[in-house]
Every structure is written in structure tokens, then in C-alpha cells.
Structure 1
């Protein structure tokens, strides 16, 4: 028998609204905007934006699009900013960091290759900046 964890839809909705609110506030603060400045750009009231940021009300898709546009972001950045960034799978060859080990092995670091990224960071911390570079080997 398949035992699935029961998800409380009310709790799940509250979590999603809180995440959206935190992401709106974080992006607004990163851009140095006040609630009123964002309200002016979106034609939403400052009190409505405050409710959204505190997770007290749910935005429509249209509202999310307007807010994201005003913040220079994508709607997915508001819904789950961390996951959206982590799920970005595009990695151009020329932009992939390269590490050359002490043994002369050249390793290209792919986006989700945490072990290689850690090796690169350790290599840089050791003062070997000329051998840890971005671009083609």
C-alpha cells in the first residue's frame, strides 16, 4: 500500500503566500524601493502591497505579472525565487568556470556540480587565482 503524506491545503497555501510575500519584499528592498514607490509603479495601493508582503492576501496572476515587471523580475522569481534560480539550466560553455588542479587536470564546472564548485573555491582561497579562470581551457 502506498503511504502518501497528507498535505494540509490551508497550511500549504499559507506557506506559498508567505514565500511570495518574502520574495516581493526582498526584491523591492534590493532595488531600494519603498512600498509607495512600488505602489506608484504598479498602480496597486501601498496597503495592498503590504498585505501581499506579509502573506495576508493572495495575489492574482495579473498582479504577480505587474509586480514582477515593476521589480525587473520574472513571475517565477516571486513565486519561488530560490528554486527559480536553482532550476536555471542554461550554462554557456564560455561562461563555465574552469579549474586546473595541481596535477594539471583541467575541470569544467557545470552549474549543478557542487563538488567541482567547492574545489574551485578552495583553489581560489589558496591563492591560485591565475589557474582558476572562466572560459575555455
Structure 2
């Protein structure tokens, strides 16, 4: 028989792990998601958030809300991160690079630096 999964704990673990990976305090995440610090603490302890709160926290962590619900979060996160980077690389490649003294200068300055890698 399959082991039952406590989805509240899954959400809490995903929020805590992402928050720590991004070096964000509970207080800062609360500010960014416009919820109380106690709400963030309760989520990380395994309490179910409302749909609105789940979306607000996901948005503040810059992930899709479905990611926070996933038991395979590491794999899903890596896929989303890879997709984002591929889109950035594609945008860079299709944009005409700036002209400098008759020479073409390529710069990666407009690409965002990943928060962790």
C-alpha cells in the first residue's frame, strides 16, 4: 500500500527550502507576498494556506504555485529554471547586438544572474 502524503508538510518544506536557497528571511518573504510572518511560519510548519496565499507566496518566490504542491519539487524546479534560462539565451541570440566603432560588441550584461548556482 502506498504511503499517504501530507500535502501541507510538502508545501511547507518546499516554501522553506526555496526561501532558504534564495537567502530570504521569513519576514522578507512575508513582506514580498503581503501576508503576515505568522502565516509564513504556519505554512512552513505544514498548515494549509488559502489558494490566494499559496499564489502570493509562490509569486514572491518566483515559482509557479504548482511547484509548491509538488513532491518532485527539485526536478520540477530545475526544469523551470532551465526553461527560464533557455528563454533568456534565445532572447539574447535573436536581438541585434549593439554596434561599437564599426565592430559588433556582444554583451551578456542584460541577462539576469541566477540567484544560486
TM-score bucket of the superposed structures, by smaller chain: 0.5 to 0.7
Q: Does 1:79 align with 2:69?
A: yes
Which residue pairs with 1:34 in the alignment?
A: 25
TM-score for the superposition, normalised by structure 2: 0.58
Counting matched residue pairs gives 80
How does 1:4-83 map onto structure 2 within 5 Å?
12=5, 15-55=6-46, 57-80=47-70, 82=72
Cross-structure match for 2:113: none
Structure 1 Cα separation of the partners of residues 16 and 2 of structure 2: 31
Distance 1:81 1:73, change over 3 A: farther
Aligned to 1:80, the other structure's residue is in SS state: coil
Q: Where does the alignment leave 5 or more consecutive residues of structure 2 unmatched?
A: 87-117
Query: In terms of Rg, which structure is larger?
Result: 1
Q: Aligned with 2:70: secondary structure?
A: helix
- Computed over aligned residues only, the root mean square deviation of the Cα atoms, in angstroms, reads 2.7
SS of match in other structure, 1:32: coil
Structure 1 outlier segments of 4+, above 4 Å: none
Specify which structure has the bigger relative contact order, considering alpha-carbon pairs within 8 angstroms and separated by 6 or more residues.
2
Which whole-Å CA distance do the structure 1 matches of 2:26 and 2:36 have between them?
9
SS, match of residue 69 in structure 2: helix
Q: Aligned partners of 1:20, 1:44: CA distance in 2, in Å?
A: 16
Gapped runs of 5+ residues in structure 1? 96-137
